[in-house]
Amino acid sequence: MNRREFIGTLAVSTPAAAAAADEQRPTGTSAASEPRPLTITLLGTGTPAPSMERQSSGYLIEVGTDLIVWDHGPGAHHRLIQSGHRTIDVTHAFFTHLHYDHCMDYGRLVLQRWDQGADRIPDLQVYGPPPLARMTEQLFGPDGVYGPDIRARVEHRSSLDVFEARGGTSPRKRPAPRVTEIHAGSIVQGNGWKVTVGHAQHVQPYLECLALRLDAKEGSICYTGDSGPSDTIVELARGCDILIHMNHYFSGTEPTPAYRAACGNHRDNAIIAKRAGVKTLVLTHLLAQIDQPGIREQIVHEIQQVFDGKVVWGEDLMRLGLSGSRVSTIEPGQHE
Ligand SMILES: [Zn+2]
Ligand SMILES: [Zn+2]
């Protein structure tokens, strides 16, 4: 092993070591870019509350040659790595709203992807409501939170040695996520997929809150973001194969009516799923207080009294496959 290889070995993390093994294959044409069945992995099914079992909100969609994250709260990126994916293979990130439990790992995603990607991968495409562009500038811009770190990595010889050992060619570019601010009604077209953006009923007017629906030839997935009961969610989710819905509360235990309006409860979710005519309802954003034996079963049972589709109690790293517009596989999550 020569000195250059040694630096590379020291510098790279495990996912990047895999990338290094693929060195002969330009990223973007790697094995990861062969078309895959449509799958969604639940990265984080928790709330803002600290938990080892449930990280904060995050979802990972494999569709065609793209790897898309929907929300990236604290812990979601750790789960992404646990799921066996590489940071550098993420192509798109969407945010439903900028509550920290949905976006705190944005910095980790952008910086680790940039660092490990060594200028050899396309910029991350990022979509979300305002002020996402300002937040991005305030994180990664020259005067941003990470501005001094980025400058050190772009200019210090030691960092450039590592960058070049990873295959980069100096001068090194700064991270430059391509941000598009979206609103209810926006449509984002990808390669073999389309995301339609809807209105979520949550904490307006302080945050613009959105819901997302992805349609591809294998099927459709709708994610409410955080939302209380809303006709706009019913319309967005209509007829979809999988509806991923916040289930923060056991009905009747919401602290106040304002909480119910912003976050809903399990009976509200049953009615939403029934009205929208979805096939599978996945419950997420689960508080520890309801994530208990007996309560789980009662919630699922009561939802099934109203909604005659399948009800899934979400868990971190659970993976659902879609083909022919039906859920073909559900693999339980496995993590420490
Ligand atoms: Zn949340
Ligand atoms: Zn929220």
DSSP string for 150-176: HHHHHH-HHHHHHHHHTT--SSPPPP-
Q: Are strands 193-199 and 187-189 parallel, antiparallel or unpaired?
A: antiparallel
Tokens at 29, concatenated: 């044409």
Using the mean position of ligand 2's atoms as its centre, give its distance from the Cα of residue 202 in Å.
Answer: 7
Whether 229 and 254 have beta carbons less than 8 Å apart is answered as: no
Residue 30 above 60 pLDDT? no
Using the mean position of ligand 2's atoms as its centre, give its distance from the Cα of residue 119 in Å.
Answer: 34
Whether 183 and 129 have beta carbons less than 8 Å apart is answered as: yes
Provide the pLDDT for residue 237.
Answer: 98
> Which chain residues have CB less than 5 Å from ligand 2, an ion?
99, 226
Using the mean position of ligand 2's atoms as its centre, give its distance from the Cα of residue 226 in Å.
Answer: 5
Name the band, by pLDDT with cuts 50, 70 and 90, for residue 35. low
Using the mean position of ligand 1's atoms as its centre, give its distance from the Cα of residue 135 in Å.
Answer: 18
DSSP label at 32? G
% residues pLDDT > 90 (the chain): 84
d(CA 97, CA 26): 34
Using the mean position of ligand 1's atoms as its centre, give its distance from the Cα of residue 61 in Å.
Answer: 19
Residue 309 above 50 pLDDT? yes
* Rounded CA Rg of the chain: 20
Which ligand is nearest to the Cα of residue 98, counting in written order? 2
DSSP one-letter string for 272-297: HHHHHT-SEEEEES--TTT-STTHHH
**pTM surpassing 0.75?**
yes
Provide the pLDDT for residue 86.
Answer: 96
Provide the pLDDT for residue 5.
Answer: 54
Residue 228 above 90 pLDDT? yes
Provide the pLDDT for residue 53.
Answer: 95
Using the mean position of ligand 2's atoms as its centre, give its distance from the Cα of residue 225 in Å.
Answer: 7
